[in-house]
């Protein structure tokens, strides 16, 4: 039995029956990392020694007859933009290469309390800005399904680590699709929760009104288990919603008879790969066969989502990244003369080209004389986009689209054309602007590459998303297909 191919709930059952140990799990996944990491390049930092220490303590506890919690002893990893006390947190940027936080992000604390075992920190597009993980200052993570292709972004390392069975699950962040788009590219389950459902305390900010931490798992059951741990109000985060957290596993019901699913016609227009369209149509037919009522609908302001996003997100990025000045922490350029020269040189040398591009876009949009014409207008259009969703949800339980318009593309294919790269997130960005939850689940293959089914739900109604995703998963086998990576 290959332990690394099992899900969190399967491994938890083995631990409870004492058919494996936490140390055995850590060693098994460490061996898997040794096998495939040279090809995948998912990790920025490995923390194996700490993981083995934690696993040994847990095994002592289990030896005393205590039962493990659902995620106790389960090896996982974190996107490298979540603060981890005593462990470097780099955002895959030169400017934070040597930064070691003095505290943990709230999600890190909650996973530690649940007994999950961190194996390391995962590569991303620098400061989570990108759709391919080609913008990392350290390495280009590769798609386990085809090493010549990108894993998606910005949570490319997190997704690739789960897809390649280097960890059982990972946490990513999603500002415009950074969990869901790579999940689709690599054939795993990716959930972006409702904005405010999961604490952002300790998440290094890109765009504060859009960023949300979420889950990357091998199946929907694991998604619910991880959400049970990380969701919930946090007084340390002013944007954390004071709402009651349900037991998400109670939504894992294999029955969607009578559920109303809307298909927004705007998501099936120009730019959707014909093979992706075919796979999504087959998935829709499967949901109808399972009893869902499917009907076309319209979200008329969808065409404005990308320009709206690329005004709001860079504006917030410009503000958030102003703190990286070489003074208090992070990279400081040597021999930079006076203090202004030090600011300029440190930022010029510390940030990569995509981060600089977005800072400049955002600074321009916020500048005197342009604020009303660009940023303020974008905020108004964002409200119209949210109203589109509100009206649709008066009729439908959830909405459905492709997660991404194409399967994973090759390295370099879009990096010379920022606009083409930005359009990789055309199906996912609107959910962030509206603050609603959305999930990507594997639903088939186009030219041998995974395709994701994208489900969007009402705010704080993750339960409905999980129910539909679980029902689809239980009646198909796409989530069970693994990339070979040339390893037997």
Catalytic residue IDs: 79, 154, 178
Instruction: Give CA–CA dist 251/71, Å, rounded.
Output: 18
Q: What spatial distance separates the first Cα and last Cα of the chain, rounded to whole Å?
A: 13
CA distances, 126 to each of 36, 138, 148, 149, 348 (Å): 23, 9, 20, 18, 14
Do the Cβ atoms of 333 and 326 come closer than 8 Å?
yes
> Which residues have CB under 8 Å from 145's CB, separation 6+?
163, 185, 186, 187, 408, 448, 449, 450, 483
Q: Is 57 helix (H, G, I), strand (E, B) or coil?
A: helix
One DSSP character per residue, 100-154 reads --SS--HHHHHHHHTT-EEEEEE--SGGG--SSS---SS----BTTBTTB---SS
The closest alpha carbon to 409, from 135, 134, 216, 174, belongs to: 134
Instruction: Give CA–CA dist 55/22, Å, rounded.
Output: 5
8-state DSSP, 97: T
Instruction: Give CA–CA dist 223/214, Å, rounded.
Output: 9
Do the Cβ atoms of 438 and 192 come closer than 8 Å?
yes
Do the Cβ atoms of 85 and 105 come closer than 8 Å?
no
Q: Give one word for 270, left, alpha or beta, with left for phi > 0 and alpha for psi -120 to 50.
A: beta
Instruction: Give CA–CA dist 448/85, Å, rounded.
Output: 41
């Amino acid at each position: 039995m290959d332990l690394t191919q099992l899900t969190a709930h399967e491994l938890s059952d083995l631990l409870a029956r004492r058919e494996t140990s936490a140390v055995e799990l850590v060693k098994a996944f460490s061996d898997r990392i040794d096998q495939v990491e040279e090809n995948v390049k998912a990790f920025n930092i490995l923390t194996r020694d700490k993981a083995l220490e934690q696993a040994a303590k847990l095994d002592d506890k289990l030896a005393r007859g205590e039962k493990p919690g659902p995620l106790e002893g389960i090896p996982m990893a974190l996107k490298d933009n979540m603060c981890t006390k005593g462990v470097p947190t780099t955002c895959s940027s030169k400017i934070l290469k040597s930064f070691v936080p003095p505290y943990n992000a709230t999600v890190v604390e909650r996973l530690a309390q649940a007994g999950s075992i961190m194996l390391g920190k995962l590569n991303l597009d620098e400061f989570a800005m990108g759709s391919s993980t080609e913008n990392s200052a350290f390495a280009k993570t590769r798609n386990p399904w085809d090493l010549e292709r990108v894993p998606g972004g910005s949570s490319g390392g997190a997704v690739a680590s789960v897809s390649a069975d280097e960890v059982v699950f990972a946490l990513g962040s999603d500002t415009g699709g950074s969990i869901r788009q790579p999940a689709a590219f690599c054939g795993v389950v990716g959930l972006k929760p409702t904005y405010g459902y999961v604490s952002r305390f300790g998440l290094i900010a890109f765009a504060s009104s859009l960023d949300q931490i979420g889950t990357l798992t091998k199946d929907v059951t694991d998604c619910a288990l991880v959400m049970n741990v990380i969701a919930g109000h946090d007084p340390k985060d002013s944007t954390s919603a004071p709402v009651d957290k349900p037991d998400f596993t109670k939504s894992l019901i294999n029955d969607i008879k009578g559920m109303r699913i809307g298909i927004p016609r705007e998501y099936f227009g120009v730019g959707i790969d014909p093979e992706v369209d075919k796979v999504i149509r087959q998935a829709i037919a499967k949901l109808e066969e399972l009893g869902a009522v499917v009907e076309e609908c319209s979200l008329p302001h969808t065409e404005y989502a990308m320009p709206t996003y690329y005004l709001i997100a860079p504006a917030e990025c410009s503000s958030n990244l102003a703190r990286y000045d070489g003074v208090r922490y992070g990279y400081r350029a040597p021999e930079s003369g006076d203090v202004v020269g030090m600011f300029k040189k440190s930022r010029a040398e510390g940030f990569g080209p995509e981060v600089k591009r977005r800072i400049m876009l955002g600074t321009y949009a916020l500048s005197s004389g342009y604020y009303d014409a660009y940023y303020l207008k974008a905020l108004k259009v964002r409200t119209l986009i949210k109203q589109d969703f509100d009206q649709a949800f008066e009729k439908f339980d959830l909405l459905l689209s492709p997660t991404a318009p194409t399967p994973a593309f090759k390295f370099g294919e879009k990096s010379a054309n920022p606009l083409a790269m930005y359009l990789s997130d055309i199906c996912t960005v609107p959910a962030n602007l509206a603050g609603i939850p959305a999930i990507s689940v594997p639903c088939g293959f186009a030219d041998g590459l995974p395709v994701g089914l994208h489900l969007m739900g009402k705010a704080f109604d993750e339960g409905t998303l999980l129910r539909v995703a679980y029902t689809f998963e239980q009646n198909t086998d796409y989530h069970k297909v693994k990339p070979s990576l040339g390893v037997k």
